[in-house]
Structure 1
Amino acid sequence: MELRQLKYFVEVAKNEHFSMAAETLHVAQSALSRQVGLLEKELGVELFEREGRNVKLTPIGKMFLEQAMIALKAIDNATQLIEEYLEPERGIIRIGFPSSIASSTLPTIISAFKKEHPDVRFHLRQGSYEFLTEGIKKREIDLAFIGPVPVSDPDLHADILFSEYFYALIPETHSLAQNGSLSLYQLERDSFVLFPQGFVLRKIVVDACHQAGFRPFIPYEGEDLDAIKGLVSSGIGVTLLPETTLFGNMPSGTIKIKISHPEVKRTVGIIIPKNRPLSPSEKLFYEFVLDYFRHINLWT
């Protein structure tokens, strides 16, 4: 079995058409058909059912496709690892992050890193808490920023970079807008604008409200941070957000107020896999991040 045959097979499976796959691969259709035929002969099974000019996978072909894609991905990862050992300054790093650090924390870190390592490239993927933790475990991303930090997951190594408080974001027309701080129970009768069920930022806020002695009324939900801020700006509700999401990004018509009771805060950190070593480029970035925040924490 040759690597070329696996690549040809996967491309035909994707296109469900030999001539289209051949065009994508820039090979003659006859050569493509011959290699797939040799693969089927070696395996002793038919991978495709022919339907005129189109093809579709047989049941065993579907199972083989799943494993073939895993094998090809593993080979790509191994090749990238070798390339990065030879030239760690030219690697590609897949970074996951939540929306709550997208506007300030992440751009600042990457900008500082690129000044010292301009040729390292990044693939950035934003996602939910579960997406970030599972993405690391499944090798879909290499490192991830996350908050709060999962400190007890057996498959992840986590470093806490900093802790931050949540602030109440309210319309400037709100009766509490002139207060220097507030107790969370003072928002008991307000409508809340929060992330949907399953988002960790929602859970933090709801748990804090329960601690303050009430169940929040949540008629408005949104997955986009700016949309949530915009709804508060329009005057239809209030929300609680981590402080870093409000740095230099306060929507017009809103006020942020410190919460005096209960204490609402979260940790923010970086997670990496426990079950595999980082590539040279990934390690370079990981150590840079730790050192970057170590220096910040010394001065705060």
Structure 2
Amino acid sequence: MQHTATSLLHRLLARGKFRHAQVLLQLAELGSVQRTAEAIGMTQSSVTQTLAYLEKLLEVRLFERHARGVRPTPACKDLLPVARQLLLGVANTAQIVAARQQQGDGVVRVIASASATNGLLIDALPEFSERHPGVQVHLGEAEGEDQLLAIARGEVDLVVCRRPPVIPEGWEFHPLREDRFVIVCRADHPLAQRKRLKWADVAQATWLLLPAAVAARQRFDELALRFPQPPRSHPVVTRSLPMMWRLLRLHPLLALLPLNLARPFLDEGALVQLRIGEAVRIDPIGLLQPKAGMAAAAVRLGEFLARRAEAGPSA
């Protein structure tokens, strides 16, 4: 018997349980009733009964049984992203309620780009937590479209990022910190001691490159047109921050990066900036926030970041 989406919704609201989503995800990941039972503290018979109940509730087969366990059907694979979001929402709810029970001042869900984390939040959040210990800040990292997707899903209260091409409806962007491209290397690189550099000097170096379509890579490709010969590059091309910092510290490489992305390593002296040519500015790091309806904890953090940014970073 076929059901409309509305009738299935009413059925799920009336008879569905969070445990169903948990069993669905664990079975799909582990492929075994026994391992699923062990992972979530149920008996094997309870897992089997829960699956049978869910398949009856939805009137669709979710797993195919085989000699070594189970495998998800196409219908199950369609449901997995929804089940993950459901459990994520449940986990966030538990965090928020726990914070309130501990007599806290609320929870702020923040998503930031890597440049925003390194250039602004890495110093600002510890200071904010010292001044407002009752506010829990849940920080995640995401770039571009993933930030907008989190907003659309209602998973975030504040986003610290560059201004997106399109501002989501009901949100506004406030710039907080200027940014520009810089050429960096480790402190003992031969070029680090040179006061006057020409493009021919850096053209002879070996470069650590970011992937195509990243703004820093596009800018590097433009600069490379000035080089007298094609630049040499390291065989690893990555935007993974741990890998980038490791390679820059291990090898005498140059990299063209946003200043805010490299700022912590420049501040501690692990990397140095090469001065060559005119500074090329890029969109500033800023705060993307709702125009109205923000919780008190989110307002407090947003105002703190704005005040702190007015002072500017260290030179």
Superposed pair shares fold, TM > 0.5: yes
Q: Does 1:269 align with 2:285?
A: yes
**Partners of 2:91 and 2:192 in 1: CA distance:** 59
Q: Is 1:97 the equivalent of 2:113?
A: yes
Are the aligned partners of 1:169 and 1:255 in contact in 2 as well (CA < 8 Å)? yes
Q: Which residue of 1 aligns with 2:275?
A: 258
CA contact (8 A) 1:88 1:280 kept: no
SS of match in other structure, 2:208: strand
What is the match of residue 110 of structure 1? Answer: 125
AA paired with 1:152? P
CA distance in 1, matches of 2:192, 2:132: 50
Selected match of 2:307 from 273, 291, 295: 291
**Structure 1 residue 162, shift from structure 2 partner:** 1.6
Report % sequence identity: 19
- Indicate conservation of the 8 Å contact 1:184/1:262, yes or no: no
The CA deviation string for residues 133-183 of structure 1, in whole angstroms up to 9 with x for no partner, is: 66655667664443xx2342243743321213444446663498033xx56
Aligned residue type for 1:266 = I
How many Å separate the matches in 2 of 1:200 and 1:191? Answer: 20
- 2-structure distance, mates of 1:299, 1:164: 13
Residue 219 of structure 1 is matched in structure 2 by 233
What are the equivalent positions in structure 2 for 1:195-214 lying under 5 Å apart? 195-208=210-223, 210=225
Q: 2:194 matched to 1:177?
A: yes
* Deviation, structure 1 residue 92: 5.8
Most deviating of 117-126 and 2-11:
117-126
CA contact (8 A) 2:181 2:216 kept: no
Match of 1:17 among 32, 56, 67: 32
Q: Is the 8 A contact 2:96 2:106 kept in 1?
A: no
Asked whether the equivalents of residues 5 and 39 of structure 1 are also in contact (C-alpha less than 8 Å), the reply is yes
Alignment partners' CA distance in 2, 1:247 and 1:288 = 24
Q: Distance between the aligned counterparts of 1:36 and 1:282, measured in 2?
A: 40
In the aligned structure 2, how far is the partner of 1:17 from the partner of 1:96? 37
Q: CA deviation at 1:110?
A: 1.1
Question: 1:240 offset after TM fit, Å?
Answer: 3.7
Give, as a single letter, the amino acid of the residue that structure 1 aligns with 2:301. Answer: F
Q: Tell me how far apart the structure 1 counterparts of residues 313 and 78 of structure 2 sit (CA, whole Å).
A: 54
**Equivalent residue runs for 1:113-132 within 5 Å:** 113-126=128-141
- Paired with 1:175 and 1:298, the residues of 2 have a C-alpha distance of 22
TM-score by length of 2: 0.68
Do structure 1's residue 247 and structure 2's residue 250 form an aligned pair?
no
Quote the Cα distance in structure 1 between the aligned partners of 2:291 and 2:55.
35
**Amino acid in the other structure paired with 2:285:** G
Distance 2:148 2:60 in 1: 38
Query: What is the aligned partner in structure 1 of residue 173 from structure 2?
Result: 158
Secondary structure of the residue aligned to 1:107 is: helix
| In structure 1, distance between residues paired with 2:189 and 2:23 | 61
Letter in 2 for 1:286: G
Q: Does 1:43 align with 2:58?
A: yes
Shift of 1:269: 1.5
In 1, are the aligned partners of 2:112 and 2:143 still within 8 Å (CA)? Answer: no
Contact 2:159 2:289 survives alignment (8 Å): no
Corresponding pairs, count: 287
Could you report, residue by residue, the CA deviation over 1:112-138 in whole angstroms, capped at 9, with x for unpaired residues? 111122244455545666665666556
In the superposition, relative to structure 1, how do residues 288 and 204 fare at CA in structure 2: closer, same or farther (>3 Å)?
A: farther
Aligned Cα RMSD in Å?
4.2
SS at match of 1:194: coil
Q: 1:30 to 1:92 in 2, by over 3 A?
A: farther
Answer whether contact 1:145 1:270 (CA < 8 A) is retained: yes
Kept after mapping to 1: 8 A contact 2:55/2:61: yes
Q: Contact between 1:95 and 1:122, CA under 8 Å: does it hold in 2?
A: no
